[in-house]
Chain A
Amino acid sequence: MSAEELRPILEVENLSKHFSSKRRGRTTVVKAVDGVSFGIWKGETFGLVGESGCGKTTLGRTIIRLYAPTSGTIRFSGREVSGKMTGALRKYLTDNIAMIFQDPIASLNPRMTVQEIIGEGLKIRGVTDESERRRRVEYMLERVGLQAEHATRYPHEFSGGQRQRIGIARALVVEPSMIIADEPVSALDVSVQAQVINLLNSLKREFHLTVMFIAHNLSVVKYVSDRVGVMYYGKLVELAESDEIYHHPLHPYTKALLSAVPQPDPHSEKSRRRIFYEGPQAVPEGALAMREVIPGHSVYCTEAGLAAYRRERDA
């Protein structure tokens, strides 16, 4: 095993992203991401769940530096990418990490053909030969389950699921080593969600991708992910392998998320008790941290909380 494989491909350490706004001379600070640390291994799918406004999208966008981090470090393949933005760093990031967006309508330019949308990244990377670009776009279209003829059409001619496939083709055509998929299926019908999830899974294997999968639905995340991180109000509150998190959720917010997933079984649904999480109890500043309950399973808690979680995990 080489040294490269002993370290995660993406390392996020104590990352924070705060937004401040001034109104009538008063400054308010929103801590969208607040001291988050985790790593993603090469070839792994890392799921990130949480509800709207918990900072999961901000985290994804800070990693590919659409936002500048307030503090903390991000390393990709050992190289720090959280510093000052330069042309070389931008190129390094966009060559290696690509993004798939949530809204398949808003994220595709309605005035560009599919060929132009997917080929744009190649053009920027200096693939000047028109026929070479066409060949690679058509190859990519076929890989995502569309047809070469679709290249000359416009986004409005496609259904939601097909548009999301175009978004995937656009991300993959530049041969990135990692993909950040931000709620790629939330806007789709359940039957179409399954198609897109299966497609992402098979492409991941085919292109040896590392994937960060952001979503609000734990059942979808569990399906695709090797490990899952749960976010709540800017903090990572639980991190574990996806089976572990499903069978032994410890943090109350994770339990609430799990209990909210609708299941196609009327009897158990009617008897099921929903758990609602009302926010954390007040504890002294600094007492909370990510603590490992069992190897590979950490929860954001106090020392006393850790002991309680350990007992709960063993029970």
Chain B
Amino acid sequence: MRVDDLSVSFRAYAGLVKAVRGVSFHLDKGETLAIVGESGSGKSVTMKAILGILPKNGRIDSGSIIYDGQDLAKFTEQEFYQIRGKKISLVFQDPLSALNPIMIVGKQITEALTLSLGMSKERAKVRALELMNAVGIPDCETRFHQYPFQFSGGMRQRVVIAIALASDPEILICDEPTTALDVTIQARILELIKEIKAQRGLSIIFITHDLGVVANMADRIAVMYAGKIVEMGTSDDIFYRPVHPYTWALLSSIPDLDTKEALVSIPGTTPDMIHLPPGDAFSPRNKYAVALDFEREPPMFRVSDTHCAATWLLHPNAPKVEMPELLANRIRRNAEERIADER
């Protein structure tokens, strides 16, 4: 899949909300791409555009979403039926509202099979039990006839994953799949997604606000801010060699178990997407902003073959700025531990 220069806007009462502004990325087969950003950064809207489930007042202004030789951005609702839930599936954030509360979970899984794949009821049930087993739901036969309220949060999310996997998709989009869960359950669900990916050769787009969560999941990471990708690279690039001040800020705000220094928070809030500030949208919150940041938007600068970022700091004439000391220390300490471990 390749997304090129995608822009999405919403007509709202107060004006035009430019939720996604020129996003480009590609997803290789068998790869996990994480899209990371705060609430309102446009990460979920990007995902909705890919699946053709934008709300009525939303519109793709420009750009293309090429999948399997076709441009999904120009698809009609009818054509999406062939893709959505079949080739591309979605795992929602909140498993309780994603499931029908008055339908047994077995039916909700077989529904995906009988409706979209035209399986017979009997075969669908066998397949559904297999899927429940594959996502680690114990005692499938009993569980099959139970309602969502009889499941715990983690088990519900497993049901949602089973439904998403029912049609044997090529791409799985996970929209904050663990945000509503406890850390211990989160760890288990992440392990499960990794396992399934390896077994089925899935490609995954993993959307989250927590960089910590994607550290052991993602092959590549795109950091989004105010509707734009501000930095993209392999997970090593982003965690060990970040160059964009916003990525620095995100990384610094993760609590560190090793030290007790004050957390570095990002001052201010995300900008008003109707009246965006001129220049770089992050500049009002960016303590490393240069004068040009307030006037012109930075283009994508290439750092290496796999790594690029949109910040004027990478311009050859820009002042030399190092990442925050706290973050540099943490990365250095992690590297030292790693070397020590290898010995």
Instruction: Show the binding face of A for B, using Cβ within 8 Å.
Output: 51-53, 159-162, 189-195, 197-198, 201, 216-220, 222-223, 243, 246, 256-272, 274, 276-277
Contacts and interface: CB of A to CB of B under 8 A. Distances in A.
B191 A194 contact: no
Contact of A218 (B183, B186, B337): B183
A190 B337 contact: no
B248 to A, nearest CB: 11
B187 A260 contact: yes
Given A51-B184, A263-B215, A276-B188, A222 B257 contact: yes
Given A260-B187, A274-B191, A190 B182 contact: no
Contact of A263 (B182, B184, B257, B269): B257
Interface stretch (B13-21, B127-135, B260-268): B260-268
Interface in B166-200: 182-188, 190-191
B39 interface: yes
A53 B215 CA distance: 28
A217 B181 CA distance: 10
A193 B266 CA distance: 10
15 contacts: A52-B153, A52-B182, A160-B39, A217-B183, A219-B255, A219-B257, A257-B183, A260-B183, A262-B183, A263-B212, A267-B334, A268-B338, A272-B216, A274-B187, A276-B184
Contact of A265 (B213, B215, B265, B266): B215
B210 interface: yes
A270 to B, nearest CB: 5
Given A159-B269, A194-B253, A268-B334, A51 B182 contact: yes
Interface string B301-343: 0000000000000000000000000000010001001100100
Contact of B255 (A220, A258, A277): A220
Given A219-B255, A223-B260, A262 B212 contact: yes
Interface string B205-216: 000011111011
B183 A191 contact: no
B83 interface: no
B297 interface: no
Interface string B236-260: 1001000000000111111111001
B265 A267 contact: no
A220 B190 CA distance: 20
Nearest to B263: A194
Nearest to B39: A189
Nearest to A221: B255
A266 B216 contact: yes
B209 to A, nearest CB: 5
**Interface pairs A-B: 7 shortest CB-CB:** A269-B216, A194-B265, A262-B212, A194-B263, A260-B187, A195-B265, A194-B253
Contact of A190 (B210, B216, B330, B341): B210
A191 B334 contact: no
B38 interface: yes
Contacts of B266: 191, 194-195
Nearest to A219: B255
B338 A192 contact: no
Scoring A161, A259, A267 by chain B CB atoms within 10 A of each residue's CB, the highest score goes to A267
B265 A198 contact: yes
Given A190-B250, A190-B253, A271-B341, A257 B184 contact: yes
Contacts of B108: none
Contacts of B341: 268, 271
B264 A259 contact: no
Contacts of B190: 262
Given A197-B263, A219-B257, A262 B213 contact: yes
A219 B255 CA distance: 6
Contacts of B153: 52
A139 to B, nearest CB: 22
A222 B255 contact: yes
Given A160-B39, A191-B250, A191-B265, A216 B182 contact: yes
B7 interface: no
A221 B250 CA distance: 19
Nearest to A185: B255
Given A189-B38, A191-B249, A265-B334, A260 B257 contact: no
A219 B185 CA distance: 15
A187 to B, nearest CB: 9
B64 interface: no
Given A216-B183, A262-B213, A194 B257 contact: no
Nearest to A274: B187
B269 A262 contact: no
